[in-house]
Amino acid sequence: MSSAMIKENSSNAVNKTFLLQSCRINAALDAISGRWKALILIHINEGVNRFSLLKTVLPGISDQTLGKQLKEMERDGLLYKEIIAEVPVRVDYHLSEKGKALQPILVTLSDWNDMK
């Protein structure tokens, strides 16, 4: 659940703050949680690094959700955007070192999920 969706003084917000501060795993999971984040990171890693291209490979995602997920991942240091001065202006997204380091973890999580 996004922190923007939780009332600041609610017990949910207090609990989330406590969990993020007391367990690094919770903080890591929070950075990659969200229905689309893993797929977005995988596609950017594969070179699908523009908003319009991501929309093409993720047809079920809304513009608002994609923009929000990209901003959250940029805030969390998983990717960065490069603004290219063309007409029209182009924005490319790239994985940061932290985002690149996450790739084998995502593969391992996927393999773990497939275990019987």
**Over the stretch 54-105, which tens digit does the pLDDT of each residue have?**
999 999 999 999 999 999 999 999 999 999 999 999 999 999 999 999 999 9
Pair 21, 70 in one domain: no
Pair 52, 21 in one domain: no
For residue 6, the model assigns a pLDDT of: 65
Pair 26, 69 in one domain: no
pTM, to two decimals? 0.80
Answer for the pair 23, 61: CB distance below 8 angstroms, yes or no: no
Phi-psi region of 16 (alpha: psi -120 to 50; beta: other; left: phi over 0): alpha
CA 99/CA 49 separation, integer angstroms: 13
For residue 15, the model assigns a pLDDT of: 74
**What is the number of structural domains in the chain?**
2
Q: How many CB atoms lie within 10 A of CB 65?
A: 14
CA 73/CA 106 separation, integer angstroms: 15
Pair 15, 61 in one domain: no
Pair 39, 16 in one domain: no
Pair 14, 60 in one domain: no
End-to-end CA distance of the chain: 28
Range of the domain at 23: 1-33
Answer for the pair 41, 80: CB distance below 8 angstroms, yes or no: no
- If you average pLDDT over residues 10-38, what whole number do you get? 81
Pair 43, 14 in one domain: no
Pair 42, 1 in one domain: no
80: enclosing H helix or E strand: strand 79-84
pLDDT at 44 over 90: yes
For residue 2, the model assigns a pLDDT of: 45
Pair 64, 85 in one domain: yes
Mean pLDDT of the chain: 89
